[in-house]
């Protein structure tokens, strides 16, 4: 432990501000969609900062950028990092904090003239948000070997252009093989993006893992007919099945238990007219649970509900799984270290799962991994109103500093 070493809050905030100027939108928000011109400008700024800090910068074939600060020994490095791409109406902390805290820590060590035994690596991964190209967490997924490079490069985004072409265009199709640097441990600092820490008065979250995710798309096909002339008993109302499913989700959550989340976020009716019984309803259900068995139970209950209701209503169901990730459990020992170090530094800390996906869950395939969360005011995320108080940004970065020193010793 190096209790005397502290990050420089002002410098960290300044870097957050300067990065947020790139792709700035209203109310302090950011729009730096992955592999856009704004993303390139953000990348260029970060690479210049890495070089100013004396780091060796390598870029891999999917555009992940890793800056390395040499250690005393040529062994596997301790790695930290996150992402700097944003959603269309993003804030300035999501992702950026984890990367810039890494650079701040390197700056502190440089000033202190302290060289760790293991090298330190600070990474930012391509297209974590998935707002332009699906899937999200693409760069870390390819890094961890979970998605073939050629498939990732061929991915076509919402504007019709491919990942590969955009990487070439912005000059970030690097020459390093993906996954070239296997870390000794990976630790990611991130804003919570949820309300739990703030609501319960904690400074730090020791993230135990990432919830499993199940995304379903249901297409219900019934029969369109006149709302004024069709008796209720003769209807085959696709919209009713969608509505009843949305209502059922609250019941499902009660049945499955308190760790279950369920959301109907997307719904489209056709013909979508006030006086026509819908013949088609397309809707999605997002189910999340930290427990895989419970998540499977929720899925089965949901599918059975929709099928049964559709049979009664006389409509057909087409079901498609849009995404399915099992829960990821972070390294038990490392999570314990995060919790213990936070407590030792005097922070109010609690363990919690992450509801959102993170690059760390991909890196967990390669190395012992954990995450540090700091509070998000109001739990507001993917929104220009995203906010984390400076003292919490500082707390998270100081905790990361101490843990990296511990792990690199």
Q: Which is nearer to a copy of itself, 231 or 346 (CB)?
A: 231
- Residue 217 φ/ψ, nearest 5 degrees: -120, 125
- Residue 105 as a binder of a copy of itself (CB under 8 A): the answer is no
Question: Could you give the 3-state DSSP secondary structure of residue 371?
Answer: strand
Binding mask 284-323 for a copy of itself (x = CB under 8 A): x-x-x---------------------------------x-
Under rule CB under 8 A, residue 201 binds a copy of itself: no
- End-to-end Cα, the chain, rounded Å: 10
Q: 120-151: b or e for each residue (b if 16 or more CB lie within 10 Å)?
A: bbbbbbbbbbbbbbebbbbbbbbbbeebebee
Residue 389 interacting with a copy of itself (CB under 8 A): no
- Specify the residue, 217 or 291, whose C-beta has the smaller distance to a copy of itself: 217
Query: Does residue 8 belong to the site contacting a copy of itself (CB under 8 A)?
Result: no
In DSSP notation, 185-223 reads EEEEEEE--SSHHHHHT-SEEEEEEE-EEEEEEEEEE--
Instruction: Mark the segment that binds a copy of itself (CB under 8 A) among 13-21, 72-80, 166-174, 377-385.
Output: 377-385
> Which residue's CB is nearer to a copy of itself, number 153 or number 277?
277
Q: Is 95 helix (H, G, I), strand (E, B) or coil?
A: coil
What lies within 8 Å, CB to CB, of 254 at 6+ separation is none
**30 is written with which tokens?**
């950011």
Return the range that interacts with a copy of itself (CB under 8 A); candidates 8-16, 336-344, 379-387, 388-396.
379-387
Residue 247 within binding range of a copy of itself, rule CB under 8 A: yes
Confirm or reject binding of residue 229 to a copy of itself (CB under 8 A): yes
By CB under 8 A, tell whether 359 contacts a copy of itself.
no
Residues 63-89, buried b or exposed e (16+ Cβ, 10 A)? bbbbbbbebeeeebbbbbbbbbbbbbb
28 lies in the binding site for a copy of itself (CB under 8 A)? no
Provide the sign of the torsion angle of the four alpha carbons 188, 192, 193, 194, taken in this order. positive
CB 403 within 8 A of CB 341: yes
| Shortest Å distance, C-beta 218 to a copy of itself | 12
Return d(Cα 347, Cα 244) in angstroms, integer. 45
Binding mask 70-89 for a copy of itself (x = CB under 8 A): --------------------
Between 57 and 322, CB nearer to a copy of itself: 322
CA distance 171 to 166: 8
Distance of CA 191 to the CA centre of its chain: 10
Cis geometry, peptide bond prior to residue 271 (ω within 30 degrees of 0)? yes
Of residues 215, 145, 159, the one with CA closest to residue 34: 159
Choose between 160 and 228: whose C-beta lies nearer to a copy of itself.
228
Binding of residue 165 to a copy of itself (CB under 8 A): no
Binds a copy of itself by CB under 8 A, chosen from 80, 86, 224, 361: 224
Q: Would the CA dihedral through 208, 209, 210, 213 be positive or negative?
A: negative
> CB-wise, 245 or 398, nearer to a copy of itself?
245
Q: How many residues does the chain have?
A: 409
Show contacts with a copy of itself in window 181-200 (CB under 8 A).
192-196, 199
Provide the minimum distance between the beta carbon of 271 and a copy of itself in the complex, in angstroms, as a whole number: 8
Segment lying near a copy of itself (by CB under 8 A), choices 10-18, 105-113, 257-265, 336-344: 257-265
**Does the protein bind a copy of itself through residue 218 (CB under 8 A)?**
no
Q: Which of 24, 47, 70, 264 binds a copy of itself (CB under 8 A)?
A: 264
The least CB distance from residue 363 to a copy of itself, in Å, is: 19
Q: Is 36 in the site for a copy of itself (CB under 8 A)?
A: no
Figure out which of the listed residues 133, 186, 218, 240 binds a copy of itself, where binding follows CB under 8 A: 240
374 SS3 class = strand
The residue ranges that bind a copy of itself (CB under 8 A) are: 192-196, 199, 211, 213, 215, 217, 224-232, 234, 237, 239-240, 242-247, 249-250, 253, 260-269, 272-278, 284, 286, 288, 322, 354-357, 379-383
């Amino acid at each position: 432990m190096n209790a005397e070493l502290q990050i420089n809050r002002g410098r960290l905030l300044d870097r957050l501000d300067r990065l947020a100027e790139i792709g700035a939108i209203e109310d302090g928000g950011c729009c730096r969609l992955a592999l856009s011109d704004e993303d390139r400008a953000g990348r260029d700024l970060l690479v210049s900062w890495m070089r100013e800090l004396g780091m060796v910068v390598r870029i891999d074939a999917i555009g992940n950028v890793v800056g390395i600060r040499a250690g005393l020994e040529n062994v596997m490095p301790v790695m930290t990092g996150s992402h700097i791409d944003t959603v269309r109406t993003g804030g300035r902390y999501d992702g950026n904090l984890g990367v810039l805290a890494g650079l701040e820590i390197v700056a502190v060590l440089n000033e202190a003239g302290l060289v760790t035994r293991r090298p330190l690596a600070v990474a930012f991964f391509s297209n974590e948000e998935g707002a332009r190209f699906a899937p999200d967490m693409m760069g870390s997924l390819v890094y961890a070997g979970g998605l073939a490079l050629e498939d990732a490069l061929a991915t076509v985004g919402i504007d019709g252009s491919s990942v590969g072409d955009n990487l070439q265009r912005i000059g970030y199709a690097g020459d390093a093989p993906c996954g070239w640097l296997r870390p000794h441990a990976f630790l990611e600092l991130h804003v919570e993006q949820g309300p739990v820490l703030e609501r319960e008065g904690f400074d730090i979250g020791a993230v135990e893992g990432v919830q499993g995710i199940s995304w379903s798309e249901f297409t219900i096909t019934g029969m369109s007919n006149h709302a004024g002339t069709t008796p209720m008993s003769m209807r085959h109302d696709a919209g009713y099945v969608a509505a009843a499913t949305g209502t059922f989700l609250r019941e499902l959550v009660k049945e499955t238990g308190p760790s279950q989340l369920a959301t109907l976020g997307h719904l489209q009716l056709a013909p979508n007219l006030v006086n026509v019984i819908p013949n088609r309803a397309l809707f999605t259900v997002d189910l999340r649970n930290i427990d895989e068995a419970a998540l499977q139970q929720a899925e089965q209950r949901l599918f059975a509900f929709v099928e049964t209701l559709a049979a009664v209503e006389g409509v057909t169901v087409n079901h498609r799984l849009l995404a399915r990730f099992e829960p990821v459990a972070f390294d038990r020992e490392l999570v314990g270290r995060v919790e213990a170090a936070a407590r030792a530094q005097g922070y109010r800390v609690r363990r919690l799962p992450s509801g959102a996906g993170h690059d760390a869950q991909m890196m967990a395939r390669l190395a012992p991994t954990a995450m540090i969360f700091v509070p998000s005011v109001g739990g507001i995320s993917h929104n220009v109103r995203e906010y984390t108080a400076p003292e919490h940004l500082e707390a998270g970065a100081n905790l990361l500093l101490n843990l990296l020193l511990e792990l690199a010793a």
